[in-house]
Amino acid sequence: MRLTISLPDQLAQKFLSTVPSRQRSATIARLLERELAQHEQSLEAACRAANADEALSAEIDEWQAFNDDLETP
């Protein structure tokens, strides 16, 4: 798949002068994979922390009980 992206001029120039033309796509793909993996790990850690939060769990239980008490039309 082809994508068009915008980069700051200084970063683009550094990238073009540092990475040989035949290695650019692979380099970008590798960097994106690393960055996405870090984002996923951060999201997973935040989810685990939220799931372990007893106050949040109690609040969710309270809201679910409230919703269960509502009559459906």
Reported pTM: 0.64
Please report, for residues 1, 18, 54, 68, the alpha-carbon distance to residue 59 in angstroms, rounded to integers and kept in the order given. Answer: 44, 53, 9, 14
pLDDT category of residue 71 using cuts at 50, 70 and 90: low
Whether the pLDDT of residue 70 is over 70: the answer is no
Domain ranges, ordered by start, for the chain: 26-73
* pLDDT single digits (tens) 19-59: 999 999 999 999 999 999 999 999 999 999 988 888 888 88
